Amino acid sequence: MSTRAAAGRQGGVGEAISDVFFARPGLLTLLLLLPPLLWIGVVYIGSLIALLLQSFYSLDDFSGLVVHDFTLSTYGQLLEEANVGIIVRTVAMSALVTLACALIAFPIAYYAARYAKGWKKALFYLAVMMPLWSSYLVKVYAWKLILAKEGILTWIASGLGMTWLLEGLLALPVIGGPSLSFSYIGTFLVFVYVWIPYMILPIQAALERVPANLIEASADLGAEPSQTFWHVIYPLALPGIVAGSIFTFSLTLGDYIIPQIVGNSRLMIGQAVYTLQGTAGNIPLAAAFTVVPMVIMGFYLWMAKRMGAFDVL
């Protein structure tokens, strides 16, 4: 009855396996997805949940031990003035860094996407990739060298006779400090430098998708270059900017090494978490602190997804 239209080749284990998966394509998909899902699910999500649970415990002030009873008091501590200060400071820094990154990254991305061709395009791409992938610590370290009181910036300033400007900057309240490497200005500069490649690449990816004739069409319809920019290029680049800002914002929000190496003694969220879980042993409050960036980034990702930023990721 069922003389099969087989090609007449020998079977074997390979073919038997292939046949099973051909008959049940969903099975193969499941088997492929299961290991990575288990890994992320158990190792990563599992750990996140463990951390979240800790934030509902509290620290006994006298014994310094963690009390394993459900309480919201740790979140209450988060609202103390000093802690709110830490949060506000960190979020403000993240926002400023993101803004600066977008402003500096845009022309680079725009040039690379629109004008660079052939080898020059490859060069641009590599020139962005190299600093992106080169060592984070090395990059931070480089700025320690640059910003040091005896370093190259001071040297340049004195060479140009602009020492007064540098000193004026450092004399400013809040953002100033004894030297650039102990001031918010310094922290800000390093953050911008270290994260900027993360902003360039998605903007470039978004701009690459804008057909050149859209810009010509806009000009053809009588738009000034600035109108074309605001009505055509900017809206189309926006998903790229949002995608890039996910990185710049999130990375700044959680970083504890840059402000520790270049900055003043006022803590940011990352440093607070680091010292709380380490020397202070207050894991519950550290956990509660990490919930702040988690909530902010959760909201951020949700917004980004709605704006279609994930397409250019």
Partner 1 sequence: MSSDPKAPLGLRIAATGGLLLLHLPLLLIVVYAFTTEEKSFQFPPPGFTTKWFGIAWSERPDIWPPLFLSLKVAAIATCLALVLGTFAAAGLSRARFFGRETVSLLFVLPIALPGIITGISLRSAFDIMGLDFSTWTIVLGHATFCIVVVYNNAIARFRRLGGNLIEASMDLGANGLQTLYYVVLPQIGTALLAGGMLAFALSFDEVIVTTFTAGQQSTLPIWMLSELIRPRQRPVTNVVAVFVIVTTMVPILLAYYLTREGEHTGGSSK
Partner 2 sequence: MTSPAVRFQNVSRRFGEVKAVDGVSLDIAPGELFAMLGPLGSGKTTCLRLIAGFEQPDEGHIEIFGARADGLPPYKRNVNTVFQDYALFPHMTVGENVAYGLMIKGMGRAERESKAAEALAMVKLKGFEARRAAQLSGGQRQRVALARALVNNPKVLLLDEPLGALDLKLREQMQEELRALQKGLGITFVFVTHDQGEALSMANRVAIFNEGRIQQVGTPTDVYERPRTRFVADFVGSANVLAPDLAGRLGAGPRWVSLRPEKITLLADGQGAPEGWVSLDGRLASASYQGSVTRLAVDAEGVRITAAVPAGSAPIVTGSTLRLAWPKAAMVLLEGEP
Site for partner 1 in 117-136 (CB under 8 A): 117-118, 120, 122, 124-136
d(CA 75, CA 54): 11
Distance CA 143, CA 189 (A): 9
Using rule CB under 8 A, residue 117 touches partner 2: no
Q: How far apart are CA 268 and CA 277, in angstroms?
A: 14
The answer to whether 178 contacts partner 1 (rule: CB under 8 A) is: no
**Residue 21 corresponds to which amino acid?**
F
Contact stretch for partner 2 (CB under 8 A) within 19-27, 50-58, 100-108, 267-275: 19-27
Residue closer to partner 2 (CB basis): 12 or 36? 12
Using the rule CB under 8 A, which residue among 17, 22, 88, 123 binds partner 2?
Answer: 22
What whole-number distance in Å separates Cα of residue 108 and Cα of residue 101? Answer: 11
The pair of three-digit structure tokens given for residue 302, joined into one six-digit string: 């949700």
Q: Which residues of 265-291 are buried (b: 16+ CB within 10 A; e: fewer)?
A: eebbbbbbbbebbeeeebbbbbbbbbb
Task: Look at residue 3 and give the partner it binds from partner 1, partner 2, none, a contact being a CB closer than 5 to 8 Å depending on partner kind.
Answer: partner 2
Alpha-carbon span 126 to 209, nearest angstrom:
20
Contact status: 145 vs partner 1 (CB under 8 A): yes
CB 233 within 8 A of CB 210: yes
The answer to whether the CB of 271 falls within 8 A of the CB of 82 is no
Question: CB-wise, 23 or 212, nearer to partner 2?
Answer: 23
- Euclidean distance between the first and final Cα of the chain, in Å? 54
**264 forms part of the interface with partner 1 (CB under 8 A):** no
Contact mark string toward partner 1, 284..303, x via CB under 8 A: --xx--x--xx--x---x--
Residue 2 lies near partner 2 (rule: CB under 8 A) = yes
Our finding on whether 47 is near partner 2 (CB under 8 A) is no
- CA of residue 199 relative to chain centroid, distance: 9
- Which of 115, 234 has the CB closer to partner 1? 115
| Closer Cβ to partner 2, 15 or 216, answer by number | 15
9 touches partner 2 (CB under 8 A): yes
Instruction: Give me the least distance between CB of 249 and partner 1, in Å please.
Output: 9
Could you give the CA distance from residue 181 to residue 261 in angstroms, rounded to a whole number? 8
Q: Which does 266 bind (CB under 5 to 8 A by kind): partner 2, partner 1, none?
A: none
What string of DSSP letters covers 148-187?
STTSHHHHHHHHTT-HHHHHHHHHSTTT--SSGGGSHHHH
**Could you tell me how many residues of this chain bind partner 2 (CB under 8 A)?**
12
Residues in contact with partner 1, counted by CB under 8 A, come to a total of 112
Q: Which is nearer to partner 1, 188 or 193 (CB)?
A: 193
Rg of the chain (C-alpha set): 26
Shortest Å, Cβ 21 to partner 1: 5
Nearest CB to partner 2, comparing residues 18 and 227? 18
Question: Which residues bind to partner 2, rule: CB under 8 A?
Answer: 1-7, 9, 18-19, 22-23
